[in-house]
Structure formats: structure tokens, C-alpha cells
């Protein structure tokens, strides 16, 4: 078939193929520096190179025409199934046809600090396991979020090599089957018989990294090495409970979201996947939130992954020591989030040339929430340090000095309004959750000082801690709702209140808390799924609705568990597991009909799953 004939054929799948797969119809692969989403149709439709927060190379998940993709599939009608090679992050997509069965093995080799780490090799190994099958491939990168032109150099097409060059990035494609150039793309049509295989490898090249072929033998060796890496890593897990498969998949996902050079863990590998189709709640989550710190450290240490916890604490400690020495800005001494390399500037901008997932504009990169005041982050940070000091390594003297300064700042500023945990853009309020986590910051610091005999102004800290407690109990309780509420001077409920017993602020069987738990169940829970709050009752400055928030659903399981309502907790947990995708992955939210919404997969959700599984398993005995 000629290039012109292929161009006339157009996009794979014909007119009946949907332009966008459901978000949940994807798996994730990565090399601890970047990651790619692979659809159940065999298409890579999200990939940023050379790191998580770099501009996209493939972004057809945000614009089917302009975003770019790497299509690879059987060239006949098929049924497909997708799974992870057991106990790994190697993804298998299988194609079942009348004349045969084939599969694609997608993975990114894990390389240390050698020069090869800069290659960021992405390997797609195609195998015909039964009968015979024709396959087709189209590699269509679109650099800089589809805004930057590129050229294709294909001097070695018959030997399966082409180079895509743009002003900002060059990628080399090597293939074990012949390829041809069609405009800005490269394509291939080939047939495999039983036991035959083909390999496509995509590398970043430039500087000291030159294009390099990936023979079939090397692809098999890299496949086996990558499998060994993931299995060796997962074997360190100490979890032996009832939900081992889901907990371990969550752990493997968290590891994929780790940026190895700094130890940072990103919130999600994607940007602008909408909370509501057609809505504007589309954000860039490829950064590190301080808020996630305590949850990350808690989950990693409980699973036994001390190296990852230590690396993440190193990243956080460096941020704290750098920022605590500076004069506090209008949003306090710390930012709520940082870049994966620790950078502070994350300017938000829109990409109007991309239509957004299923038309959900705007597509945003960067995140202006970085400039918000969110007081809860100090509680999350100090709690993570307390946990790490307890189960990991003792805190250093220099680090304690920085933390003491932060706690002093919290004592002076805990009573001011802020944007809150949900990063609302509707103005600052006196959020209960922000007060709660300020209490946590001071209380955990006092525990740490007492346990280690560290110098601290415990009298002053104690006064502030007690003042926060009394303020919450007095102004955060609504006699009308017979529940704790989202913010002062309101009767609005908020799922973040579920953290009150989890943070040990209130007994999980306190009558006021049990009344709040019942109220949350009546107002915000739907078939075990939990909404963050009601945007109609508490405007957040944004249009549209949103789905249930998956982390809140797992918080609800923990709150029920600690209240002793184990039958309800177990049912809610088991129901929540049914909303995972076919691989056990979760987006940020669950929509009204059970679909995954928002950025995918989300670290926060998988952290909460691990915590809920631990607590519930222990309570069940």
C-alpha cells in the first residue's frame, strides 16, 4: 500500500470509531520520569517527554485531530482486552480476531542515572500468539501541545528508522518492520504469524543520545528486565490483607507517579481532563501538592517502602528549609504546590488551539492555585514529618528549626480566611478544615518536641492549639444542622469534615461526630460515593457540576470503620472497588453514571484506598 492510499484510509477504525475513548479505558506506563496513557484500542494518546510536566508529544486525549498519537492495532475487526503483566507496570493490550490473537506489550525500561536514562525509551512489542493477524501503526507526534511544527527524516525507512525533529525536541522511531513517511507522520502495515513479533521503540535523542535500534532480542531482554524491576520493587510490600491486589496496584501506580531525580510524587500525570464533560473545571495536576505529603508518607511507610518515603521527605525538607528562611509572602512561608524539580513558578495559561477532551475547554497548563492561601497544608506537612520521625528516620536539628518557624507562623495566622482544601475560586472563607489542619500542625509539633526533647515554645503553641479547638467546637458546629459545617456562618456540609476523627481531633464515637457522620451520609453520599460539597449551596466561583470525589469516598470508609460501623464500611469499600477501571485505576472523580472523571490516575485516590484498606482490614481482624 502506498503512502497516499494510507492517507486516504485516514484514522484507524473507520467512521464508527469514537473520537475519544472513555477516560477509564486507559492504562498507564512510565519510567519514573514521564508517563504515557495507552487506550484499550492500542493507541497512546497522552505522553509528555522528557518528564511529567513537559509539553506533550501525544495529546489526542485532549484533541483527537491536533493532539498527536501513536496508533497500533490489528488491521481487522477485533475484540480487545487489557491487563497488567502480573505484579508489574508492563501493560498488555490483546486483540481477538477470527483468524488469530495478538497482543501489544507496552512498557518503558527503568534506567538509573546513566546516559541511557535520557533516552526515555518507550517500547511497543507486538506479538502474534495464535493464528495470524495483520497490524497497522501510525506514529503522529505533535510537539509542544500540538502547537510546534516538526520535520521527519527517514533516510533508513526500509531498515525501520525515522527521526522526528522539532525546535524543542527530537524523537527517533526504530522499528523491526518497514515504515513509510506520510506528511508529518510515519506509518506501517505488516502481518505476523503465530510466535512472530515486531518492535517499535521511541527514543528522545540529541546531545550525547544518538538514535539506536531496538532489535527483537533486545526488546525481549528489556521486557524481562522491566518485569523483574517491578516485581522486585513490589516484593518489599508488607501488606498481606484482604485487598492485596487492589492495594498493590495502588502502590505500583504511586511508584509510576514518582519523579526519580527528586523523589517528588505528582498528583496525576495528566492535565485538563474535565470534572464535567463540557465544563470548565479542567486543571493541570502534574505537580507536587504539599497536602499530599502526610498521605504519601503514611501509605508508603505502612506498605514498607521506606526508600520512597525518605526520598519524598527529602524533597519536602528541601522546600521547607529554602522557603522558611524567606520573608513570608501574602500566602505564607510555603506554597501549596511545587514543580517536580522544586520550582515555585507554575504560571497558568490556556491552550485555545486544543478543543479539550470531548470538547471540554479550556485546556490549561500550569496552575494558578499555586498563589492561593491554603492553611491546611501546614498540618499535612507537620503530620508527615511526625509520621516519618516515628516510623522512618529521626528529624534533623536544622529541619526542626525550620519546622518550628512554620509552627510559630501558624500560631499567628490560623484564624484568617483562606481558599480552603478544595482550592475554590469564590473568595476566602473561614473553612473548618483549614482550622482543623492548623490544629494538627501545632499538636503534632508538640508531640514531636516532647518525644524527642526538642526545643519549642510549648506554652505559646499550647495556647494556640487550644484556641483553635475551642473555635472549631464553638463556631464550626451548627445546632440547626446538628453537624459540623464547611465554614463559619454557614449550614453547608463538606466531605473534608471526614478527616476530623482521622486526624485525631475528635473521638470517632463522639456524639457530635456521629451526628455529623449521619448528616454527611444523608446529604453528600450516594451509593457509597461522596460529593465534596454542594456547589449550589456553597458557590465556588466556577460554573457547572462535578462528580463524587473518590478520595472522600475512601475517607468515608475510614470514618465508618473508626465509628465501629464495620458492615457499612465494608460494603461501602467493596462498592467503591467496583468503580475502578479494568486495571484497578481511579480518576479524581466518579460521574453520575459511574464513569471516571477528572485527571487520571490520581495519586490522592490511590493513597486513600491504601489507608482505608489498612484500617478496615485491621478492624475486621
* Per-residue pLDDT tens over the stretch 259-309: 999 999 999 999 999 988 888 889 999 999 998 877 888 899 999 999 999
pLDDT class of 5 with cuts at 50, 70, 90: very low
Kindly write down the DSSP assignment for every residue of 498-510, as one continuous string. GHHHHTTSS-TT-
**pLDDT average, residue stretch 540-569:** 87
pLDDT at 425 over 80: no
pLDDT in tens, 431-452: 999 999 999 999 999 999 999 9
Residue 155 is predicted with a pLDDT of: 66
Grid cell at residue 224? 524481562
Judged by average pLDDT, the poorest of 52-66, 134-148, 384-398, 586-600 is 384-398
Could you count the other beta carbons within 10 Å of the beta carbon of residue 450? Answer: 11
Residue 392 is predicted with a pLDDT of: 84
pLDDT class of 327 with cuts at 50, 70, 90: low
H/E element, 611: helix 603-620
* Mean pLDDT for the chain overall: 91
**Please, which contacts does 173-178 make with residues 24 or more away whose CB atoms are closer than 8 Å?**
173/139, 173/200, 173/201, 173/202, 174/199, 174/200, 174/201, 174/203, 174/211, 174/212, 174/213, 174/214, 175/137, 175/199, 175/200, 175/201, 176/200, 176/214, 176/215, 176/216
pLDDT in tens, 35-81: 999 999 999 999 999 999 999 999 999 999 999 999 999 999 999 99
CA dist 284 and 282 (Å) reads 7
CA dist 293 and 167 (Å) reads 37
pLDDT in tens, 384-411: 999 988 888 888 888 899 899 999 999 9
Asked if 603 and 268 count as a contact pair (C-beta separation under 8 A), the reply is: yes
Residue 325 is predicted with a pLDDT of: 67
pLDDT class of 105 with cuts at 50, 70, 90: very high
Q: Where are the alpha helices (DSSP H) in 335-396?
A: 376-391
Asked if 603 and 257 count as a contact pair (C-beta separation under 8 A), the reply is: yes
pTM of the model: 0.93
CA dist 252 and 229 (Å) reads 11
Give the three-state DSSP class for 336.
coil
Residue 537 is predicted with a pLDDT of: 64
Phi then psi for residue 329, to 5 deg, are -85, -170
Judged by average pLDDT, the poorest of 53-62, 202-211, 325-334, 416-425 is 325-334
H/E element, 443: helix 432-452
Residue 59 is predicted with a pLDDT of: 98
Amino acid at each position: 500500500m502506498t503512502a497516499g492510499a494510507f492517507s486516504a484510509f485516514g484514522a484507524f477504525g473507520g467512521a464508527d470509531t469514537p473520537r475519544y475513548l472513555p477516560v477509564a479505558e486507559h492504562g498507564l506506563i512510565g519510567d519514573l520520569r514521564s508517563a504515557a496513557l495507552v487506550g484499550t484500542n492500542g493507541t497512546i494518546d497522552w505522553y509528555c517527554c522528557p518528564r511529567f510536566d513537559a509539553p506533550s508529544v501525544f495529546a489526542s486525549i485532549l484533541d483527537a485531530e491536533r493532539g498527536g498519537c501513536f496508533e497500533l492495532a490489528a488491521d481487522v475487526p477485533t475484540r480487545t482486552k487489557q491487563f497488567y503483566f502480573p505484579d508489574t507496570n508492563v501493560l498488555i493490550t490483546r486483540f481477538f480476531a477470527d483468524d488469530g490473537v495478538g497482543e501489544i506489550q507496552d512498557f518503558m525500561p527503568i534506567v538509573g542515572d546513566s546516559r541511557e536514562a535520557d533516552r526515555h525509551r518507550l517500547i511497543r512489542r507486538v506479538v502474534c500468539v495464535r493464528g495470524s493477524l495483520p497490524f497497522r501503526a501510525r506514529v503522529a507526534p505533535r510537539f509542544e501541545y500540538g502547537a510546534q511544527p516538526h520535520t521527519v527524516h527517514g533516510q533508513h525507512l526500509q531498515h525501520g528508522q525515522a527521526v522526528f525533529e522539532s525546535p524543542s525536541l527530537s524523537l527517533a522511531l526504530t522499528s523491526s518492520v518497514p515504515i513509510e513517511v506520510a506528511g508529518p507522520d510515519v506509518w506501517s502495515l505488516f502481518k505476523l504469524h503465530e510466535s512472530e513479533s515486531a518492535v517499535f521503540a521511541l527514543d528522545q535523542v540529541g546531545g550525547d543520545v544518538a538514535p539506536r535500534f531496538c532489535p527483537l532480542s533486545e526488546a525481549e531482554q528489556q521486557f524481562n528486565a522491566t518485569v523483574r524491576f517491578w516485581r522486585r520493587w513490589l516484593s518489599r510490600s508488607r501488606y498481606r490483607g484482604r485487598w492485596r491486589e487492589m492495594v498493590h496496584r495502588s502502590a505500583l501506580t504511586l511508584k509510576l507517579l514518582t519523579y526519580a531525580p527528586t523523589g517528588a510524587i505528582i498528583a496525576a500525570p495528566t492535565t485538563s481532563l474535565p470534572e464535567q464533560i463540557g465544563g470548565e473545571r479542567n486543571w493541570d495536576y502534574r505537580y507536587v501538592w504539599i497536602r499530599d505529603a502526610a498521605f504519601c508518607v503514611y501509605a508508603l511507610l505502612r506498605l514498607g517502602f521506606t526508600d520512597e518515603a525518605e526520598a519524598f521527605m527529602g524533597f519536602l525538607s528541601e522546600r521547607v528549609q529554602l522557603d522558611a528562611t524567606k520573608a513570608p509572602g501574602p500566602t505564607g512561608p510555603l506554597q501549596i504546590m511545587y514543580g517536580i524539580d522544586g520550582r515555585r513558578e507554575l504560571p497558568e495559561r490556556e491552550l485555545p488551539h486544543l478543543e479539550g477532551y470531548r470538547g471540554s475547554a479550556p485546556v490549561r497548563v500550569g496552575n494558578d492555585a499555586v498563589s492561593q492561601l491554603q492553611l491546611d497544608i501546614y498540618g499535612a506537612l507537620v503530620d508527615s514529618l511526625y509520621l516519618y520521625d516515628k516510623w522512618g528516620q529521626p528529624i534533623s536539628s536544622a529541619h526542626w528549626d525550620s519546622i518550628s518557624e512554620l509552627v510559630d507562623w501558624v500560631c499567628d495566622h490560623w484564624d484568617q480566611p483562606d481558599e480552603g482544601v478544595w482550592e475554590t475560586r469564590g473568595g476566602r472563607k473561614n473553612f473548618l478544615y483549614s482550622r482543623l489542619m492548623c490544629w494538627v500542625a501545632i499538636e503534632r509539633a508538640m508531640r514531636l518536641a516532647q518525644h524527642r526533647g526538642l526545643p519549642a515554645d510549648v506554652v505559646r503553641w499550647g495556647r494556640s492549639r487550644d484556641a483553635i479547638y475551642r473555635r472549631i467546637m464553638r463556631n464550626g458546629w451548627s445546632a440547626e444542622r446538628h453537624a459540623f459545617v464547611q465554614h463559619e456562618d454557614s449550614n453547608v456540609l463538606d466531605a473534608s469534615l471526614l478527616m476530623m476523627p482521622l486526624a485525631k481531633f475528635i473521638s470517632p464515637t463522639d456524639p457530635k461526630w456521629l451526628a455529623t457522620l449521619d448528616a454527611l451520609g444523608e446529604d453528600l453520599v450516594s451509593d457509597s460515593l461522596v460529593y465534596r460539597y454542594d456547589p449550589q449551596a456553597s458557590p465556588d466561583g466556577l460554573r457547572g457540576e462535578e462528580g463524587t470525589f473518590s478520595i472522600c469516598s475512601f475517607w468515608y470508609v475510614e470514618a465508618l470503620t473508626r465509628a465501629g460501623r464495620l458492615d457499612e464500611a465494608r460494603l461501602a469499600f467493596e462498592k467503591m472497588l467496583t468503580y475502578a477501571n479494568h486495571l484497578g485505576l481511579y480518576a479524581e472523580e466518579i460521574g453520575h453514571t459511574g464513569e471516571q472523571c477528572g485527571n487520571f490516575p490520581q495519586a490522592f485516590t490511590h493513597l486513600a484506598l491504601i489507608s482505608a484498606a489498612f484500617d478496615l482490614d485491621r478492624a475486621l481482624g
